Structure 1
Amino acid sequence: MNVLILTDFSAQAYNAARYALNSTPGPSNFYVLHASNGEAAQMDEALSELVGKLKKQPAAKQHCFSALPFSDNLINATRKAVIEKRIDIIVMGASGKNTSNFQGLGGNTCNVVKKVKCPVLVVPNCDFEQWEQLYLPLDLRFPVNTQALQLLQKLPVTENVSLNVWEFDLNNSGANIEDFKSVNYELHRQTLKKESDFLDKFWPEANAKANLIVFFARQLHITEKLLNRLSTVGKRKQNLPVLILHG
């Protein structure tokens, strides 16, 4: 796999980079990118130091690393890297130095998720746990291409991984998404009828059991509603990594 790690040299970004070393099933190419209009020599030095630290991690032995300094804005730099390096997945922290805390995510994180068409793994302040329970909420009012789930086959899941699909039929249409054939996981599905069920039913179970939450980028309104509601009720903290797919 080709993995792009975005860093602003914050503690959150470093933790996400460490997490990323465990997020591939075999030897992979890791590209560590920092975009800035600052002095090139300082950026090169900081990136080299970061790559050196990552190479010393126990999970780094099988991987190859490259530093990608860019004198550009983050979105342009990320788009270029995704194309030139044929990136499979982007990894970044949930927030960093330059954070607007918009919807519980850093401003840079939100921009990358919305403006760069590549899967993004968003890592909060957590350690890597083997992915055994994946939770996928779907709003049936907005169609998605489940072929995007093929990326999951490349990720380091356990042999008996479960994909828990929660389909929200808020229009009471009786619809469902038929095609999950591309995912060779143990599949569990349930349908919920009320928007409040997302916080009252989905989130408590996911928070207790999930190792990873999967969203589709075109359904980010689900994430925003959840984080807004958690903030309102004083339960904003969440330490689950989130994989956002485009499809």
Structure 2
Amino acid sequence: MDKRILIPTDFSKNALNAARYALDLYAKLNCEFYFLNVFRLDHYTTNTLIMPEPGSPEFEAAKAKSEEGFAKLLDMLELHHDNPKHSYHTISSFNFLSEAIKQTIASKDIELVVMGTQGATGAKGIIFGSNTVNAMEKIRECPVMAIPEDLRFSIPKEIVFPTNYKSTFRRKELNYLIEIALMHQTSISVLHFKKETSLDESQEANKQLLDDILENVDHSFHILTDKNVARGITSFVESRKSDMIAFINKKHFLFNSIFSRPLVKEIGYDAKVPILALNES
């Protein structure tokens, strides 16, 4: 069965860049790419009592503008990414972005969402836009990958996987990480935050389980002693010229533990590599 990937787009340069990265990353697989554009109406606000209806001049004009954007996008992609393994679909939606993404994931059985980290309205200096952080926080149905602005695709040689070994690992959670690693012969560097002097019994068991799950992938274990986790991950990635960061998006405490909300943004300020948020099964 073809892999189904959703790429939200606002037709910005950054969104186009994310699309190109996804097409190159999955060039070897049969994929269906769904491009989603959420359109807005210029004069409509949440204070307006009357919702614009499909068929109204305002609604149809905004939808037509979205469809024009898709025509240009597909022309560009087909010019540079003529891959017989890939097919493209477009969806124009009048909705909130997070709701439109969730609806598309459900209706099209999407397996992965790929987003640019900043759209056309992104503030200078902030690479992780609020849409991307919200998507990583709210989307539980499938993994979310964020692609930094201006990043050109190169075959990933190393993916950094930060963990504290405090939760049990499941193969299902790591499927997408392993798939990318096997597809490109990529190594995985497991990075442990060392606060305690040694691992306790359950952490040791979890580390061994992870070792077993990654048995078919080239992988290694590393220790991080930097008290500032964001800075530690960033410097580890830079020093080794790693190509991606992947982490498991824990249900209840992702945004106040290892990957606290400020941390995701903090890494995002200097993000030079894609970040893959995997979901807890």
Match of residue 131 from structure 2 = 108
State yes or no: 1:123 paired with 2:156. Answer: no
Match of residue 53 from structure 2 = none
Match of residue 6 from structure 1 = 8
Partner-residue secondary structure (3-state), 1:68: strand
Taking a change above 3 Å as real, the CA distance of residues 157 and 57 of structure 1, as seen in their structure-2 partners, is: farther
Work out whether residues 22 and 59 of structure 1, in 8 Å CA contact, stay in contact via their aligned partners in 2: no
Q: Which moved more, 1:41-50 or 1:137-146?
A: 137-146
- Could you tell me how far apart the structure 1 residues matched to 2:31 and 2:181 are? 12
- Could you tell me how far apart the structure 1 residues matched to 2:274 and 2:6 are? 16
Which 5+ residue runs of structure 1 have no aligned equivalent?
Answer: none
Alignment of 1:95-174 (within 5 A): 95-99=118-122, 104-117=127-140, 118-124=142-148, 125-141=150-166, 145=170, 147-155=172-180, 157=182, 160-172=185-197, 174=199
- Could you tell me how far apart the structure 2 residues matched to 1:22 and 1:156 are? 14
Letter in 1 for 2:244: L
- Could you tell me how far apart the structure 2 residues matched to 1:242 and 1:168 are? 18
Taking a change above 3 Å as real, the CA distance of residues 137 and 129 of structure 1, as seen in their structure-2 partners, is: same
State yes or no: 1:237 paired with 2:270. Answer: yes
Taking a change above 3 Å as real, the CA distance of residues 246 and 102 of structure 1, as seen in their structure-2 partners, is: farther
Match of residue 15 from structure 1 = 17
User: Normalized against structure 2, the TM-score is what?
Assistant: 0.75
State yes or no: 1:189 paired with 2:221. Answer: yes
- Could you tell me how far apart the structure 2 residues matched to 1:98 and 1:78 are? 19
Structure label with greater radius of gyration: 2
TM-superposed CA distance for 1:56, in Å, is 1.7
Letter in 1 for 2:30: P
Deviations 1:41-77 (A, max 9, x none): 1112212221222122235443100001111111111
Work out whether residues 101 and 107 of structure 1, in 8 Å CA contact, stay in contact via their aligned partners in 2: no
Taking a change above 3 Å as real, the CA distance of residues 29 and 6 of structure 1, as seen in their structure-2 partners, is: same
Deviations 1:204-239 (A, max 9, x none): 2312321111122234553743753x79xxxx4332
- Could you tell me how far apart the structure 2 residues matched to 1:169 and 1:34 are? 42
Q: Of Structure 1 and Structure 2, which has the larger fraction of its residues in strand?
A: 1
Deviations 1:115-163 (A, max 9, x none): 1112111111211111221111113456664531111243375564211
Match of residue 102 from structure 2 = 79
Work out whether residues 130 and 158 of structure 1, in 8 Å CA contact, stay in contact via their aligned partners in 2: no
Partner-residue secondary structure (3-state), 1:77: helix
Work out whether residues 194 and 225 of structure 2, in 8 Å CA contact, stay in contact via their aligned partners in 1: yes
User: Normalized against structure 1, the TM-score is what?
Assistant: 0.85
Q: Which moved more, 1:57-66 or 1:122-131?
A: 57-66
Match of residue 31 from structure 1 = 34
Deviations 1:18-42 (A, max 9, x none): 1111121312100000112331111
**Cα RMSD for the two superposed structures:** 2.7
Letter in 1 for 2:19: A
Taking a change above 3 Å as real, the CA distance of residues 138 and 189 of structure 1, as seen in their structure-2 partners, is: same
Match of residue 225 from structure 1 = 263
Taking a change above 3 Å as real, the CA distance of residues 156 and 60 of structure 1, as seen in their structure-2 partners, is: farther
Deviations 1:142-194 (A, max 9, x none): 66645311112433755642110011142446124332233321120123345
- Could you tell me how far apart the structure 2 residues matched to 1:170 and 1:141 are? 12
Letter in 2 for 1:225: L
Partner-residue secondary structure (3-state), 2:259: helix
Partner-residue secondary structure (3-state), 2:277: strand
Q: Which moved more, 1:182-191 or 1:155-164?
A: 155-164
Deviations 1:75-113 (A, max 9, x none): 111001111111111111011124368974101111111
Match of residue 59 from structure 2 = none
